[in-house]
Structure 1
Amino acid sequence: MPVWIPITIAATFLQNVRSLLQKKLRDRLSVWGSTAARFIFAAPLAILVALGLWTVTATELAAPGPDFLGLLVVGGLAQVLATGFMIHLFSFRNFAVGTAFTKTEALQTALIGLVILGETLSLPALAAIMAGLVGILLISLPAGPDGARFRFDQRIVYGLLSGGLFGVSAVCFRGASLSLGDGPAIVRASVTLACVLVFQSLAIAAFLKLREPGELSRVFGAWKITGLVGLVGMAASLCWFTAMAMVNAALVRAVGQVEIVFTIATSYFFFKETISAREFAGLAILTASIVALILLA
Structure 2
Amino acid sequence: MDLWIPITLAAAFLQNLRSAGQKHLKGTIGTTGATFVRFAFGLPFAVVFLLILHEGLGYPFPDLNRTFVLWSVLAGLSQILAQFLLIHLFSFRNFAVGTAYSRTEPAQAALFALLVLQETLSLGVVVAITISVVGVMLISVAHTPVNPRSLLTSIIRPTALIGIASGTAFGISAVGYRAASLSLGGPNFLMQAAVTLAFTLTMQTLIMFAWMIFGDRTEFGRMRRAWRPGLFVGATGATASLGWFAAMTLQQAAVVKALAQVEMLFTFAAAVFYFREKINRLEVAGCLLIVAGIVVLVLLG
Q: Classify the TM-score, shorter chain.
A: over 0.9
CA contact (8 A) 1:68 1:179 kept: yes
Query: Unpaired segments of 5 or more residues in structure 1?
Result: none
Q: Given the alignment, which residue of 164, 179, 182 partners 1:178?
A: 182
**Aligned partner letter, 1:188:** Q
CA contact (8 A) 1:116 1:171 kept: no
- TM-score when normalising by structure 1: 0.96
Between the aligned partners of 1:197 and 1:146, the Cα distance in structure 2 is 42
**Which position in structure 2 is the counterpart of 1:206?**
210
1:19-67 CA distances to partner (integer Å, 9 max, x unpaired)? 1110011111110100100100111210121122023343345421111
1:203-256 CA distances to partner (integer Å, 9 max, x unpaired)? 001101111122123223311111111011111111111101100000000000
1:143 shift after superposition? 3.9
**Which position in structure 1 is the counterpart of 2:114?**
114
Between the aligned partners of 1:29 and 1:62, the Cα distance in structure 2 is 38
CA contact (8 A) 1:26 1:34 kept: yes
**Aligned partner letter, 2:222:** R
**Which position in structure 2 is the counterpart of 1:268?**
272
Between the aligned partners of 2:218 and 2:135, the Cα distance in structure 1 is 42
Matched, 1:13 2:13: yes
**Which position in structure 1 is the counterpart of 2:300?**
296
Matched, 1:257 2:261: yes
- TM-score when normalising by structure 2: 0.95
**Which position in structure 2 is the counterpart of 1:192?**
196
Question: Aligned residues: percent identity?
Answer: 43
**Aligned partner letter, 2:39:** F
**Which position in structure 2 is the counterpart of 1:149?**
150
Between the aligned partners of 1:180 and 1:193, the Cα distance in structure 2 is 13
Point out the more displaced range, 116-125 or 196-205. 116-125
Task: Give the ranges of 4+ consecutive aligned residues of structure 1 lying more than 6 Å apart after TM superposition.
Answer: 145-148
1:138-165 CA distances to partner (integer Å, 9 max, x unpaired)? 1122243798733321110110011110
How many residue pairs align between the two structures? 297
Give the RMSD, CA atoms, in angstroms: 1.5
**Which position in structure 2 is the counterpart of 1:162?**
166
Between the aligned partners of 1:86 and 1:94, the Cα distance in structure 2 is 12
CA contact (8 A) 2:139 2:282 kept: yes
Between the aligned partners of 2:12 and 2:146, the Cα distance in structure 1 is 35
**Aligned partner letter, 1:14:** L
Map 1:40-189 onto structure 2 (within 5 A).
40-60=40-60, 62-144=62-144, 149-150=150-151, 151=154, 152-189=156-193
Between the aligned partners of 1:56 and 1:146, the Cα distance in structure 2 is 56
1:250-287 CA distances to partner (integer Å, 9 max, x unpaired)? 00000000000011111111122221111111111111
CA contact (8 A) 2:62 2:192 kept: no
1:92-141 CA distances to partner (integer Å, 9 max, x unpaired)? 12110001111110100101111222211012211111111001111122
CA contact (8 A) 1:29 1:215 kept: yes
Between the aligned partners of 1:267 and 1:180, the Cα distance in structure 2 is 39
Q: Given the alignment, which residue of 202, 219, 233 partners 1:215?
A: 219
Query: Unpaired segments of 5 or more residues in structure 2?
Result: none
1:202 shift after superposition? 0.4
CA contact (8 A) 1:142 1:149 kept: no
Between the aligned partners of 1:95 and 1:113, the Cα distance in structure 2 is 29
Between the aligned partners of 1:70 and 1:133, the Cα distance in structure 2 is 30
